[in-house]
Chain A
Amino acid sequence: MREFLFWVFSVIAVGSAVLCISRRSPVASALWLVGTLFSLAGLFVIFDAQFIAVMQVLVYAGAIMVLFLFVIMLLNLGRDSVTDIRGWPGRLVALVFGLGLIVELFGLTHALPDQAHVLPPGAVAQMAQAQGVVAVIAQPMFHDYLVPFEITSVLLLAAVVGAVVLAKRRL
C-alpha cells in the first residue's frame, strides 16, 4: 500500500512538474506547481515526516504560491501572450543539460548511505510515536541547530526589509 501510494504521488509530482514548465500562461504554471507541491507533501507523509508535510502545504502551497499569483496579478500577465519558450537552440540546451543531470543523479541513487549509520526500519516513526511528531524535529532544532535557527530569523528580517525597500516606489 505504501509503495503504491509512493508511486501515485511520484507520478502526479513529475507530471505536474512537466506541465508546469511547458504551459504558456504563468498562472497555469503556478497552479501546476501547486499540484507538485501537494503531491510532495504526500510523499513527505509516506517518509514519516508529517510535520514537514503540513509545513509544505501551509508555507509553500499557501504563502509562497499566493505571493507568486499576487505578483502575476499585479503585473497583469494572466492572459496568454506570445510564447516565451525559447527557440530550438535553447530547447536543445535544456534537453542536453536536463538529461545529463538525470543520468548523473541516477548514478547517485545507487550510492546508498553507509550501513553503520542507517537506523533500523521504522525507527523515526517510533521516535515520533514516543516523543510526538513536532518534538522529534524541535529537539534537534533547538539544541544542535540553535545558532542556524537564530541566523534564519535574522535572514527573514533582512528579507522583509529588502522586499519593502525594493518594492516601494519612493522611500
Chain B
Amino acid sequence: MLLGPALGVSAVLFALGVAGVLLRRNVIIVFICVELMLNAVNLTFVALAQELGPNGQVIVFFVMAVAAAEAAVGLAIILAIFRHKQTVDLQDINLLRG
C-alpha cells in the first residue's frame, strides 16, 4: 500500500543527504547530512519491516547505535581539528595532503 511511496520518500531524503555532503564546506553540516542519509535508510527498513516481519526494526536499532557512536567520535575529531587549525572549512583541512 504505502510501501512504494515510503521507499520514494526515503530515496528523496537520501539524495538530499548526498547533495548536502557535496554542496557544503562546513564539516558540521556535512556531518548533519550524513545523519540525514542514515535516517533515510532507517525509513526504508521500517517500511519494509511492515511487510516482511519485525526483524527490520531490530536493524534500525543497530543503525541508531552505530550512528550514536559515529556522532560521538566524529564530533571529537572535529573538535581536535578545530583546536589545531582554527577552522571547520573542508577547503582548509588538508593535513593528509602530500
Which residues in chain A, 67-107, are within 8 Å of chain B measured between CB atoms? 67-68, 71-72, 74-75, 77, 84-86, 90-91, 93-95, 97-99, 101-102, 105-106
A137 touches B28 (CB 8 A): no
A52 touches B60 (CB 8 A): yes
Residues of chain B within 8 A of A119, CB atoms compared = 51-53
Tally of chain B residues near chain A (CB < 8 A): 70
Residues of chain A within 8 A of B65, CB atoms compared = 152, 155-156
Given contacts A33-B35, A48-B50, A166-B73, contact A84 B25 (CB under 8 A): yes
B93 within 8 A of A: no
Given contacts A110-B4, A156-B68, contact A105 B11 (CB under 8 A): yes
Q: Mark A45-57, 1 if CB is under 8 A from B, else 0.
A: 0111101100110
Give the distance in Å from the alpha carbon of A30 to the alpha carbon of B32 in the complex.
Answer: 7
Interface of B is mostly: helix
Residues of chain B within 8 A of A124, CB atoms compared = 49-50, 53-54
A59 touches B39 (CB 8 A): no
Tally of chain A residues near chain B (CB < 8 A): 86
Q: Mark B20-31, 1 if CB is under 8 A from A, else 0.
A: 101111101101
A75 touches B82 (CB 8 A): yes
A64 touches B71 (CB 8 A): yes
B2, B7, B29 pick with most chain A CB within 10 angstroms: B29
**In the complex, which residue of chain A has the Cβ closest to the Cβ of B10?**
A105
Residues of chain A within 8 A of B57, CB atoms compared = 49, 51-52, 136-137
Which residues in chain B, 62-87, are within 8 Å of chain A measured between CB atoms? 62, 64-73, 75-80, 82-83
**In the complex, which residue of chain B has the Cβ closest to the Cβ of A95?**
B19
Residues of chain A within 8 A of B58, CB atoms compared = 137, 140-141, 144-145
A17 touches B23 (CB 8 A): no
Residues of chain B within 8 A of A6, CB atoms compared = 2, 5-6
- What's the least CB distance linking B51 to chain A, in Å? 5
Show the binding face of B for A, using Cβ within 8 Å.
Answer: 1-20, 22-26, 28-29, 31-33, 35-36, 39, 42-43, 46-55, 57-58, 60-62, 64-73, 75-80, 82-83, 88-89
19 contacts between A and B (CB under 8 A): A6-B2, A21-B20, A33-B32, A47-B49, A59-B68, A60-B39, A64-B71, A84-B26, A86-B22, A86-B24, A101-B18, A102-B12, A106-B11, A124-B53, A127-B54, A140-B55, A159-B72, A166-B77, A167-B79
